[in-house]
Amino acid sequence: MTIGIAIIGSGNIGTDLLIKVKRLSTSLHVVAMAGIDERSDGLARARRLGVATTHDGVDGLIAMPEFADVELVFDATSAGAHARNDALVRNAGRLMVDLTPAAIGPYVVPVVNLDAHLGATNVNMVTCGGQATVPMVAAVSRVAPVVYAEIVASIASKSAGPGTRANIDEFTETTARALEVIGGAEHGKAIIVLNPADPPLIMRDTVFCLVEGDPATLDRDAVSASVDAMVADVQAYVGGYRLKQQVQFDAVDEAYVPALDRPFRGTRVAVLLEVAGAGHYLPEYAGNLDIMTSAALRTAERLVAERTGVPA
């Protein structure tokens, strides 16, 4: 037995999600895909795969007879469109997994806090930067308190479609907040870089955590082990997720940190990551999109299993 799902958004993310559900999921099947461009590659691929389609967006989706077989809807549109999509879908009694940075539902990073939100009707997948870096901040936080976390997500410019470019502000705000709410940092900051290099470069993420206190008392081995364990957990559903090098530690005698508005003494922990895509629909360099769709699929399977008993 599998559970029917629908996808709103026929761009890169929605299409990659379509392919992932088709190839990888044993508990979900795609019933319908909705877009707003009748000529989009996503809708064309969906039709070739036998999936019902509409180019009338969420209104067209809900009007489709196939919608009766849908239990969960993925929103792969934009933060601006999500509020209305969510209202209509939830009014129809369906679950929503939001891949935009709208953050209407609770933030979810599967390896960190999914179990706490299995009863939610709308869950937010934060951002690609959040899915990649929040686990690392959480890994450090479970060993020692993190007073400040800053991340820099560098993605190939070619992997950033119109939705991503329109949501840059939401990306930075949502990611920074997730570093605090899920990652456990007292203060968080996020920066995104669209790298125009050609050929395109694979997604790279740099995570800095400030751990306050005597640097000599920080258990560096425990921090490194926690990070390694978290990387392995993420790799269970994002195969291209990896450390670029061992965790780095730098003692800080005293430095003024603007976000804290006071001097800091402690240890700066640096984690360098690379995220390569699986190549299901998108190229390998688009790891930023791959980690979003992979996390969304893992989340949807768990939500459906919680409600229906269908194994994830």
Residues classed as catalytic: 128
Using DSSP's 3-state secondary structure scheme, residue 105 falls into: coil
* Numbered residues of the known binding site for NAD(+): 10-13, 159-167, 288
Q: Please, which residues have CB within 8 angstroms of residue 240's CB and are 6 or more apart in sequence? A: 202, 274, 275, 276, 277, 278, 284, 287, 290
Cis peptide bond N-terminal to 263, omega within 30: no
**For residue 33, which phi and psi values (nearest 5 degrees)?**
-130, 135
Q: Is 254 exposed, middle or buried (0-12, 13-18, 19+ CB in 10 A)?
A: exposed
Give the span between the Cα atoms of 272 and 248, in whole angstroms. Answer: 9
Residue labelled with tokens 């209305």: 84
Give the span between the Cα atoms of 172 and 178, in whole angstroms. Answer: 10
Give the span between the Cα atoms of 238 and 232, in whole angstroms. Answer: 10
Q: Which residues of 295-308 are buried (b: 16+ CB within 10 A; e: fewer)?
A: bbbbbbbbbbeeee
- If one counts every other C-beta atom within 10 angstroms of the C-beta of residue 312, the result is 16
Give the span between the Cα atoms of 244 and 96, in whole angstroms. Answer: 34
Residue labelled with tokens 């891949």: 99
